[in-house]
Amino acid sequence: MEKQHSFTREELLMSGRGELYGPTNAQLPLPNMLMMDRIVHISDEGGKYGKGEIIAELDITPELWFFDCHFQGDPVMPGCLGLDAMWQLVGFYLCWLGGPGKGRALGCGEVKFTGQVLPTAKKVTYKIDLKRVILRKLVMGIADATMEVDGKQIYEATDLRVGLFTSTQDF
């Protein structure tokens, strides 16, 4: 069966409810923590390292929940939400490949913020390049990622690590 290579917001919400890959496997968070509106491309080939890539987007509107509280009079998207979106996408990728278990962020190498997302922006684009994918007893993805706002790169993260765990009891 051919793998799906793009996902709508409704399909991402299905993942958050455990309806896409099953309730015992990795799920994206539901709103408000779901930090993407669609995955426009996902592949187990290509990318900077030839191990796979993901491109996802988030539509920006002044009504997004974080602009009201971060910060009053100086609204800006929290940098940690962009970083979390990158981890969310690596975990989704592992599940998309058929890896079992629930996703957990395991860390990253370096993170650089060189810009900001303001309420006047239109679109955030996440680009994930898989560096290493392990699908054995250990299920883990390691990736580099960037985040753009309206075509300008503003975040960069290296060695994002996400694992899938069939039991999170002792995690």
List pLDDT tens digits, range 151-162: 999 999 999 999
Is pLDDT at 129 greater than 90 in this prediction? yes
Q: Over range 80-86, report the average pLDDT.
A: 98
Question: For domain 9-165, which CATH number applies: 3.40.50.970, 3.30.470.30, 3.10.129.10, 1.10.3470.10?
Answer: 3.10.129.10
pLDDT of residue 132: 98
- Where exactly are the structural domains of the chain? 9-165
CA distances 146 to 48, 110, 133, Å, are 12, 12, 18
- Rounded to an integer, what distance in angstroms lies between the CA atom of residue 92 and that of residue 99? 10
Rounded percentage of the chain residues whose pLDDT exceeds 70? 99
pLDDT of residue 168: 86
What are the tens digits of pLDDT across the range 1-37?
568 999 999 999 999 999 999 988 989 999 999 999 9
- What is the model's pTM? 0.96
pLDDT of residue 145: 98
What is the set of active-site residues? Answer: 70
In three state form, how does the secondary structure of the chain look? CCCCCCECHHHHHHHHCCCCCCCCCCCCCCCCCCCCCEEEEEECCCCCCCCCEEEEEEECCCCCHHHHHCCCCCCCCCHHHHHHHHHHHHHHHHHHCCCCCEEEEEECCCEEECCCCCCCCCEEEEEEEEEEEEECCCEEEEEEEEEEECCEEEEEEEEEEEEEECCCCCC
